[in-house]
Amino acid sequence: MLLFLSTAPNGRVSTSDLFEWTGYGNRTYFRKLLRQMHDQRLLELSADQERAQILPPGSAEAGAIVCNRIQ
Domains along the chain with CATH numbers: 2-70 (1.10.10.10)
Mean per-residue pLDDT, 14-42: 94
Contact 53, 5 (CB under 8 A): yes
Please determine, for residue 22, whether its predicted confidence score (pLDDT) is greater than 80: yes
For residue 4, the model assigns a pLDDT of: 79
Mean per-residue pLDDT, 9-36: 91
Q: d(Cα 64, Cα 68) in Å, to the nearest integer?
A: 6
pTM to 2 decimals? 0.83
For residue 25, the model assigns a pLDDT of: 92
Q: Percent of the chain beyond pLDDT 90?
A: 62
